[in-house]
Amino acid sequence: MVSLNNFDTEKFLRNNWQKRPLLIRQGLDNTEAFISFDELAGLACEPEMESRLVSYQQQQWYLRHGPFSKSDFSQLPNSHWTLLVQAVDHVSPAIFELMDSFRFIPNWRLDDIMVSYACKGGGVGPHFDNYDVFLVQTSGQREWQLGPRCDESNPLLDHPDLLLLDNFECQQRFVLNPGDILYIPPRYSHWGIAKDNNCITCSVGFRAPALADIIVEYAEHLGQGLTSQQRFQDQRRQLQDNPGEISHHVIDQLRSLIVKTVDDQNALESWFGKYMTQAKYEHDTDEIIETEQGMTEKLLAGHPVFRDPSTRLAYIAGYEQTQFFCNGLCWQLDSRYVALAKLLGGQTVFSAEDFTEWLGLSHSRKLLIAMFEKGQLYFNGG
């Protein structure tokens, strides 16, 4: 795992994480080799990639969605535009390796890395995010202006596509050079402006599911497990003074039923693990997928193993069983396989020896076969 320079992880988690911004000067080395504009523009032309062009011309903000073509880039103005491409870590080994620098935060909280290229004056305008972000300057210079914390009550510009703050108050100002990193907690207003024509920034984003989504999704999940025979009952019915009243006794019964249904630790763990490991983007099925025989032969021959960048893994350790989650599916593993769950969840590159000891156990073999067959694990070159 790659570590950051000039950075105290424990101090950061104690003093800054979700609390206050932090500037890390020269947090990473050799960042200009990560990705070029030509590579990023090429990705923005691919239909499976999520890309945007944001420009500011004649006092107006404009947004276009990709995929783009070469002619689109040749027609751009000389300044004040930005190209943004989402999930570049899924297709670029160098950007995927960059994600390793931030795995002091658990995998299930990591989202993806968006890469932006901006020419002089380019940016996406003043805004705030509902999630944490590390802004890694890899090429050129960008000035970041930070303002106060915001919420839904802050007025926005009247724009059909962009959520931009109407009144932005700059309280801090930083100019980032290649290798510098700026951490911004949720809801802190910020505005990045390119200082030159080769400004590339990698935005390491984190997953922060909305509470409303969690409640709705979990309620729907619980509802699927209930039958039409399970209904509200009030066996201790008493005579009421007025037939129009819903008594407090009924509400107490209803609350008890709901709490009893929701208060299931095992069900919550299983659902949450699946929910937080759902793949954001589908795996490229055109790649060569390993068979059981091919997996075994290559492992025994000593070939290293790699985790597909789009694959999400996590586990919940239990006393007798460990739940291992992969792209929204759950594997129930007994105590013999805890070490395998930790291995898969804690690394992105593996030696053949990491897995050969698990080939002789049927349950772990089935798990590895399933992951290789789906391309979630792969050997270099296929």
pLDDT per residue rounded down to tens, the chain (382 residues):
567 999 999 999 999 999 999 999 999 998 988 999 999 999 999 999 999 999 999 899 999 999 999 999 999 999 999 999 999 999 999 999 999 999 999 999 999 999 999 999 999 999 999 999 999 999 999 999 999 999 999 999 999 889 999 999 999 999 999 999 999 999 999 999 999 999 999 999 999 999 999 999 999 999 998 888 888 887 777 888 888 988 888 888 899 989 999 999 999 999 999 999 998 876 554 455 788 888 999 999 999 999 999 999 999 998 888 999 999 999 999 888 999 999 999 999 999 999 988 988 888 999 999 999 999 999 986 5
Q: How many angstroms from the chain centroid is the CA of residue 67?
A: 22
pTM of the model: 0.90
CATH architecture of 9-206: Sandwich (2.60)
DSSP β-ladder status, 321-326 and 313-316: antiparallel
CATH architecture of 292-379: 3-Layer(aba) Sandwich (3.40)
Q: How many angstroms from the chain centroid is the CA of residue 356?
A: 31
Whether omega before 67 lies within 30 degrees of 0, making that bond cis, reads: yes
User: Left, alpha or beta for 197 (phi > 0: left; psi -120 to 50: alpha)?
Assistant: alpha
Q: Where are the domains of the chain?
A: 9-206, 210-226+254-267, 292-379
Q: Which of 116, 94, 100 is nearest to 30 (CA)?
A: 94
Q: Which of 202, 30, 49, 42 is nearest to 113 (CA)?
A: 202
Q: Can you count the helices (H) and strands (E) in the chain?
A: 11, 17
